[in-house]
Amino acid sequence: MLTASGAEYHLAGPTAYAPCGRPVHIRDVAHHLAIVNQFNGATSRPYSVAEHSLLCCDIAQRAGASVFVQMAALLHDAHEAYTNDLISPAKQAVDSYSMAAGIAAWRMFEAEHAKGVREHFKLLSVFAGHRDFLRSIDLQALATARRDLTPYEPSRHIPWPVLGDSTLQPVAPADWVRLDTPKREAATWKDWREQFHNRFVELQVARNGSGARNELARGVTTSR
């Protein structure tokens, strides 16, 4: 695929495994995620992966998580800048078709690219060590978005097992934020792109020291 910055990112094939076959740039990640919408667009307003990722980062920060975990929360879906965001029912459908051959195709495809992007940002150990916590953050953000931006009604729609519906401990939305405010609705994709990039820079500076700020401002990141 041709990225917003003009780089060529190979999703598959021999070139994908060459040293420069899958270039990852934070400005591409921020740009793509700010345009890609969650819920397949089935929301009351555009709700991008970038905005969702910022919410996850906010949840992690409020929970007192370290800078490293906050960075992982911000970048947990960064690979979707290259794979796109596929809704969970579609992922399950793709996997169900491919399981006839004994392969969960989408799960394998997504996992390969997620690993590469996380390795690029030196976050593999953070994801491995905080997997359950990061998953809980992602689910709380999902529950919050469902509450504020979708037409979901428990009385007329089937439960979402991923959120623990119909159990004694369903995933609760965040009670300190609303996603359906006029301010959020007025924000453009460019606003979310810049917020995402700026948060990355803030966290990377905190993680690596102030000397990294100038390089990050130019879009330079540590390579794999």
Grouping H, G, I as helix, E, B as strand and the rest as coil, residue 2 is strand
CATH number of 25-81+110-217: 1.10.3210.10
pLDDT at 215: 53
Cβ(73)–Cβ(29) below 8 Å: no
14-65, pLDDT tens digit by residue? 999 998 999 999 999 999 999 999 999 999 999 999 999 999 999 999 999 9
Return the pLDDT at 221: 47
Q: To 5 degrees, how large is the angle CA 212–CA 216–CA 222? A: 75
- In angstroms, the CA 118 to CA 115 distance is 5
Residue 99's pLDDT is 85
The per-residue pLDDT for 224 is: 37
Which residue ranges make up each domain of the chain? 25-81+110-217
Which regions in the chain score pLDDT beneath 50?
A: 219-224
d(CA 220, CA 54): 21
Q: What is the pLDDT of residue 223?
A: 37
What whole-number distance in Å separates Cα of residue 158 and Cα of residue 186?
A: 31
165 burial (CB, 10 Å; 0-12 / 13-18 / 19+) is: middle
Is-contact 69 136, C-beta < 8 A? Answer: no
pTM: 0.92
> What amino acid occupies position 7?
A
